[in-house]
Amino acid sequence: MFGNYPTKLPQEISFLLLPRFSLIGFSSLVDPLRWANTISGKELYTWKNLSLDGKPVISSDRMSLLADAAVDEVPQTEMLVVCAGYDPQLYVTPQLTGWLRRQASHGSIIGAQDTGSYILAVAGLLNNYRATIHWENLNSFAEEFPKVKVVDDIFEIDRNRFSCSGGLSGLDMMLHLIQCQHGQDLAAAVSEELIYSQRRSAEHPQRLSLQARLGTTNLKLISAIKIMQRTLEQPLTIPELAAEVHISDRELERLFRKHLKTTPGAYYRALRLEQARRLLQQTSQSVTSISVACGFSSSAHFSRCYLAQYGVAPSKDRQA
């Protein structure tokens, strides 16, 4: 179980690095372990990097990291973390999913960082487990893997599975591991060395609040945008939206122009197009299905709006 005191020290953690993994996400997982060893004066943790073929792996920011071994050279792991970033579906192979299932059958504690959750889900290792993934992938992930109990937390621990959503969330997760295994004092000392004064719980939201993201505290505007986010598939008319927040159409228009320098209609459409782009790039749904799911009356209208917004047709954006 994640967080249980290891049966022997040091506890070995294997990191499977897939091409275009997040370097900051990986560092956030490893550095707390290094500091735990340094501060305690003991070798509490050791780690090794794995790749699909044993060759160096290039991260999303084009930095190359050496691998200690190929997956096929490692028959069994004690704890395994799959680290992925962009386009994880490109690296799913029968070889990889078979190897992951064998690790699970051997009793390995298996987790994921960022879109590594996608890899575990394809292998069937998250069925009936709670798991998280980067917020940009949450909706498509939940739709593609209905047997996974998807949560919108920064990290999630469920028995012998664990996951974190990316970025610095791995730091919070590893501090939690250190605290569970070696105590609050050591976890706090590691936080101090990393100049990380605001540790977050697992349930902390992944995203900033709307107020922080938009730089406004106008409650009517915030309420209108929340309604927009909930109704992407069946968008309301602007008069209906204004009525929902109990103001006139004219006042709603004024608020959007004052605080966001745009119109309610343009902002609503941009939200729907952002969602469409995520679905295009993260799922195999047809352009027609995506246009319907994002509230467009026809594929032709959707394609025109998409081209105007992103300078590329939906079908070409998916190919890219």
Q: Are residues 260 and 286 in the same domain?
A: yes
Assigned domain for 115 exists? yes
| 27 and 173 both lie in a single domain | yes
Together in a domain, 61 and 161: yes
Q: What is the per-residue pLDDT across 43-77, written as a single tens digit (0 to 9) for each?
A: 999 999 999 999 999 999 999 999 999 999 999 99
What is the rounded CA–CA span in Å between residue 26 and residue 290?
A: 33
CA atoms within 13 A on the CB side of 120: 34
Shortest CA distance to 135 belongs to which of 278, 235, 23?
A: 278
Residues 157 and 226 in one domain: no
Q: Domain containing 263 — which CATH number?
A: 1.10.10.60
What does the block give as tokens for 68? Answer: 């200690």
Q: Do 44 and 128 fall into the same domain?
A: yes
Residue 86 included in any domain: yes
For residue 16, pLDDT over 90 is answered with yes
pLDDT in tens, 118-154: 999 999 999 999 999 999 999 889 989 999 999 999 9
Q: Is 261 part of any domain?
A: yes
The answer to the question of residue 304 being in a domain is: yes
Burial of 37 (0-12, 13-18, 19+ CB in 10 A): middle
Q: What Rg do the C-alpha atoms of the chain give, in angstroms?
A: 22
Q: What is the pLDDT of residues 201-240, one digit of tens each?
A: 999 999 999 999 999 999 999 999 999 999 999 999 999 9
On whether the CB atoms of residues 291 and 298 are closer than 8 A, the answer is yes
Domain hosting residue 226, numbered range = 210-319
Half-sphere exposure of 249 (CA within 13 A, CB side): 6
Q: What are phi and psi of 156, to 5 degrees?
A: -145, 130
Domain total for the chain? 2
CATH code of 63's domain: 3.40.50.880
When pLDDT is cut at 50, 70 and 90, the band that residue 315 belongs to is confident
Q: What is the 3-state secondary structure (H, E, C) of the chain?
A: CCCCCCCCCCEEEEEEECCCECHHHHHHHHHHHHHHHHHHCCCCEEEEEEECCCCCEECCCCCEECCCEEHHHCCCCCEEEEEEECCHHHHCCHHHHHHHHHHHHCCCEEEEEECHHHHHHHCCCCCCCEECCCHHHHHHHHHHCCCCEECCECEEEECCEEEECCCCHHHHHHHHHHHHHHCHHHHHHHHHHCCCCCCCCCCCECCCCHHHHHCCCCHHHHHHHHHHHHCCCCCCCHHHHHHHCCCCHHHHHHHHHHHHCCCHHHHHHHHHHHHHHHHHHHCCCCHHHHHHHCCCCCHHHHHHHHHHHHCCCHHHHHHC
4 domain residue, yes or no: no
Closest listed residue to residue 227, CA positions, set 255, 185, 268:
268
- One domain for residues 175 and 295: no
Residues in CB range of 214: below 8 A, 6 or more apart:
221, 222, 225, 259, 260
Q: Based on the domain organization, do 44 and 172 belong to the same domain? A: yes
User: In this structure, are residues 171 and 155 in contact, taking their beta carbons and an 8 Å threshold?
Assistant: no
Please tell me whether residues 215 and 311 are part of one structural domain. yes
Q: Is 128 among the domain residues?
A: yes
pLDDT at residue 282 in the model: 83
Residue 204 inside a domain? The answer is no
* One domain, residues 68 and 147: yes
pLDDT > 80? residue 318: no
pLDDT at 319: 56
pLDDT of 1 over the 90 cut: no
Q: Distance between CA atoms of 216 and 235, rounded to whole angstroms?
A: 23
Per-residue pLDDT of 261-298, as tens digits, reads: 999 999 999 999 999 998 888 888 899 999 999 999 89
Answer yes or no: do 242 and 185 share one domain.
no
The percentage of residues in the chain with a pLDDT greater than 70, rounded to a whole number, is 99
User: What average pLDDT does the structure give for the chain?
Assistant: 95
Q: Which residue has the tokens 């960082």?
A: 113
User: Same structural domain for residues 165 and 239?
Assistant: no
Residue 100, in any domain of the structure: yes
